[in-house]
Structure 1
């Protein structure tokens, strides 16, 4: 893309997910918007790296890697585990580069003060976790049935789910950017009640919006999600 983009949209995927879901966005991203994705340890070309087990080193690594982009105007989008990470990065960015984060989109993610539903998925056996992933979606059936692939994927999913499920209110700067929280109408994990309090976590407030679909509406209802993002990028 030539010149300076109108907006940079930095995206964070769900537990076990990589840049793949966001590559499918590329044809539909508006002109002037540069789409960036984050590749975490244990994913893709970093498959041999161990995933992080604590929030502080994870947020520090991602914030450092994104340093030049966080110093310029940008918006952040995260889904489920990725929404938690996007929020923590946005708070760190607020301390380093006040006002550069123009908006935070958190999808399929409870607010920090909302208790996590039980039982914890990260505590399930391998067979139970595979079954749970099949019910929730997000992992193609052919991958779930591939024992070799699942041996690689499950430790990363479990580690990131553990971070997501044990996450809550953490000390740090208050978010300055407005929040757009999105939930799936049929999401059994993080629905309307779990996301309702998100606007309280920003000095600029925010909104909570419903999208058709379940927990992985970013895959099943991508056009609707992108319409919502696009409508707000003009102000961000």
Structure 2
């Protein structure tokens, strides 16, 4: 099997965290995190993936190593920047993955990359998000009073205890949450025909916020295979989804270790 080590990082790739050291890379998985999170949210998946699959986590401004940068305000600027950051790394087969609210940006990014003439992803993997045809933003979360916003996010799951217990961190986290929700809630999907890319959606059987029917609506966005996996979980499925994501990668990347 012939592989390639990672190309040098560029300034534009401050948008991407590539935590695994240099190794023989045959494919890449670009992961867009949920609202309020950073690229490190996906690090627990690294031991589950074949060593030749490089995990590239998307890192938005205002968190982790970009803490001093202004928070994003326009979804178009975010997608444009991600398109620029990913394009040099599309020399190998790749997967686009969006976790929860990150699914919104991920699908739009996928359409942009394909429309620009880049190689299409091998598969798009999304989670806990309604399909574009049924997506509705009736009560924008970025407008909620502080306590209601934090209670809603806590109900979604995945809020670390160290943030809940630290007022200073909570203040910082609230700013990031509002900015992220502002971005994803105002995103308008580009029009166009279904993508010629397989789509897999992962959700929780006990998700109180996104129904099975609304996740199944992603089927209309592809001309290829569509699969919906429901795990024994609620809305936040990052931990539970890891082994399934690894299996999806192994089955779709022909050179991945089985």
TM-score by length of 2: 0.82
How far is 1:173 from its partner? 7.0
Q: Which of residues 178, 187, 193 is equivalent to 1:158?
A: 178
The answer to whether the 8 A contact 1:143-1:150 is kept is yes
Q: Which of residues 7, 10, 23 is equivalent to 1:2?
A: 23
Paired residue for 1:184?
204
TM-superposition CA deviations, 1:100-126 (whole Å, max 9, x none): 311100111111121336433222111
Paired residue for 2:60?
40
Residue 13 in structure 1 maps to residue 33 in structure 2: yes
- Structure 1 window deviating more from structure 2 (134-143 vs 169-178): it is 169-178
Paired residue for 1:96?
116
Q: Which of residues 81, 96, 108 is equivalent to 1:76?
A: 96
TM-superposition CA deviations, 1:190-211 (whole Å, max 9, x none): 2312111112112324222212
The answer to whether the 8 A contact 1:134-1:141 is kept is no
How far is 1:15 from its partner? 0.5
TM-superposition CA deviations, 1:82-109 (whole Å, max 9, x none): 1111111111110234443111001111
Paired residue for 2:213?
193
Question: How many residues were matched structurally?
Answer: 235
Q: Which of residues 191, 205, 210 is equivalent to 1:171?
A: 191
CA shift in 2, pair 1:127/1:179, >3 Å: same
Paired residue for 2:247?
227
Could you tell me how far apart the structure 2 residues matched to 1:186 and 1:232 are? 28
CA shift in 2, pair 1:167/1:186, >3 Å: farther
How far is 1:171 from its partner? 3.1
The answer to whether the 8 A contact 1:189-1:215 is kept is yes
Residue 85 in structure 1 maps to residue 85 in structure 2: no
Q: What RMSD, in angstroms, separates the aligned Cα atoms of the two structures? A: 2.2
Paired residue for 1:134?
154
CA shift in 2, pair 1:163/1:194, >3 Å: farther
Residue 148 in structure 1 maps to residue 168 in structure 2: yes
Q: Which runs of 5+ in 1 are unaligned?
A: none
SS of the residue aligned with 2:201? strand
Q: Which runs of 5+ in 2 are unaligned?
A: 1-21
The answer to whether the 8 A contact 1:117-1:189 is kept is no
- Structure 1 window deviating more from structure 2 (197-206 vs 102-111): it is 197-206
